[in-house]
Every structure is written in C-alpha cells, then in structure tokens.
Amino acid sequence: MTTRWNRKDLLGLRELSAGEINLVLETADAFKQVGTREIKKVPALRGKTLVNFFVEPSTRTRTSFELAALRLSADIINISAEASSLTKGETLKDTARNLEALHADILVIRHSSAGAPQFLAERVSSSVINAGDGAHEHPTQGLLDVYTIRERRGRIEGLNVAIVGDILFSRVARSNIFALTKLGARVTLVGPSTLVPREFEKFGVTVSHDLESVLPQADVVNLLRIQHERQRNEYFPGLGEYIRLFGLTRERAKLLKPDCLIMHPGPINRGVEIDSELADGAQSVILDQVTNGLAVRMAVLYLCGGIAA
C-alpha cells in the first residue's frame, strides 16, 4: 500500500486513480472489522464535526453517513432541505459559509444539481463529501459496490459487470463505470436506447439493448432503481414494457452463471427491476452492499477528515 491520500474532498470517482480507490477499499477492510467488535466505535475523528447536508431527500445514504460518523466518534448535525434556509432564498454559497462558521470539519452533501459539491469544495475549507449530485456522481455508492464485488470475488480485474436500467440519469451508474473500468473490469450497460445512449462508449464500456444476450457472461449484474418518481415520460417505455424487456425475472435469471452476483443500490422496486424471490436469494448481495456502505463511508470520512487541515 504505497498510495497516499491527500484529498480533503471526495467529489467523484472519475478523478481518482486506481491506487486511491484501492486505498479506500483497504482502509474500509479495517473499518469493517470494527463493526464486529463488542464496542463498535473508535476515536479516530473525535472532536471533529460533520454536517449531513441533504438538500435532496435520502434516508439510507444519510443514515449510513450518520452511523459512519458516530462510529468514528465525530459529532454530527443533520440538515435537510426543508429545515435549511434554502427555502427562504439563501444561496448555496451562503448556506455553506454559515455551516463553515460553525466550524464544521466535514460537509456531506446530497444535492439535485450536478456540481454542487464541487462548487462548495472550492469555497470552503471543510472537507466536502459528495453523497450524490444530480445525474453526476455518487462516489461512495460506487466504492461500496466495488468493495462488495471484491469481497465476494477476490478481485475486480477481468470480471464482466452488467449495469442494467436507467443509465442516462444515474449517478450510481457513472460512479460505478469510473471505479470498475479503472480497476480493470469489463462493463456492459444495458437498457432501452433512450436511457442507454451509445455516447457512453466513450467511457470504455459496451452498450447493449438486449439483456438476455448479456446475462450468460455476467459475473455481476447491478440493477439500478427505476426512478418512476422522476422519470421523464419521453425516455421511459412504461413499467410493463420495462419489466418485459429489462426486468430480472426468475425465468431470465436462469441464464445467469450460478456464481453471478446480483446487486441493487436500493431501495428496490420488487417486481420491477428484480423479481422479489431473486432479491432475497442466494446470489443477491443487496444487504452486503448496505453493510459495506458503512465501512466504506467510515474509510472515506477517515481519509478526507483525517488529513491535517
């Protein structure tokens, strides 16, 4: 482990090197072990203050960051969009400066606009961690996904990973693409042509509109959530048609290799992206993803928050 971490912020995985990604994964190994102790708490970030600033609603990511911070002994404040002065017309920059004036050391931000975390990172001295910004990136999700694959398969290099669903609007897909390709996986994006345009090939991935031809080679199938709540009608074929063409049904799952991992960033729409039985089946690592998310976020907070200010 010769790579050093010298980033105060984690904004995306696109700018990280393979060595930096591996450093996060190895650090997460150490923090995962903490979760098995009688006292699941270490003093690594004692005295530091973390602000969870979620302008877009999220329960699982926010909770995961919150628990990660608590296990590192940091103090934590949660601020949601409704509670913040953003609704009163305060600009993002002013909000950030106010948070900084409270001596927040780490700012975890979820925002509907791509680039909001970077905007803040350039203006505040606190560490800024991107917890999902628009359709741009969701770096900790990408890291926990590769962590889970590495844990189960022992490596990333050479694996065939299929990412299925709404790629165009998915920050999870983008962060996964960057992490997986840097670590040497072969990535295939699958979905309707409206949601999986050919332009994605510039990231060094394969694009397919035929799920059944992709499944037999896959070592990992990562099913993205169909976000009906923000789905634009003109892109989306309709739920019934989506399930018929791209849903992982029991019938289709028979095409998978027996050791193929089934992943989903959650929350699952049972019966849409994935058949309910498969989500709970032996190939599913969906709950491992949740457990690993905590270890990966502890690692990220430790690395970004621990470097000398």
Partner 1 sequence: MTDSRTHPESSILLMDAAALGRALRRIAHEVIERNPELRQVVLAGIPSRGNEIARRIAGIISGIEKIDLPLGVIDVAMHRDDVGRRAELPVVQPSSLPLPLEDRTVIIVDDVLFTGRTVRAALDAITSFGRPAKIQLAVLIDRGHRELPIRADYVGKNVPTAPDERVRLRLGEAEEGVWLVRQS
Q: How many CA atoms lie within 13 A of 286 on its CB side?
A: 22
Selected from 39, 199, 202, 254, the binder of partner 1 by CB under 8 A is 39
Q: Tell me the C-alpha distance between 254 and 252, whole Å.
A: 5
45 binds partner 1 (CB under 8 A): yes
Residue 151 CB, nearest approach to partner 1 (Å): 12
In Å, what is the CA distance from 124 to each residue of 5, 99, 117, 190, 277? Answer: 19, 9, 11, 39, 47
Count residues contacting partner 1 (CB under 8 A)?
29
The residue (of 3 and 58) whose beta carbon lies closer to partner 1 is: 3
The residue (of 37 and 230) whose beta carbon lies closer to partner 1 is: 37
Residue 65 CB, nearest approach to partner 1 (Å): 17
Q: Tell me the C-alpha distance between 179 and 185, whole Å.
A: 9
17 binds partner 1 (CB under 8 A): no
Per-residue contact flags (x/-) with partner 1 for residues 160 to 179, judged by CB under 8 A: --------------------
**Are 176 and 204 a contacting pair, CB within 8 Å?**
no
Residues 244-303 that bind partner 1 (CB under 8 A): 302-303
Residue 114 CB, nearest approach to partner 1 (Å): 29
Residue 307 CB, nearest approach to partner 1 (Å): 6
**Nearest CA-CA partner of 162 in 104, 205, 124:** 205
136 binds partner 1 (CB under 8 A): no
Question: What is the maximum span of the chain, computed from C-alpha positions, in angstroms?
Answer: 57
Selected from 1, 103, 254, 258, the binder of partner 1 by CB under 8 A is 1
Count other C-beta atoms under 10 Å from residue 158's C-beta: 11
27 binds partner 1 (CB under 8 A): yes
Proportion of the chain in helix, strand, coil states, percent, rounded to 5? 40, 15, 40
- Residues in contact with partner 1 by CB under 8 A are 1, 4-5, 27, 29-34, 37-46, 48, 72, 302-303, 305-309
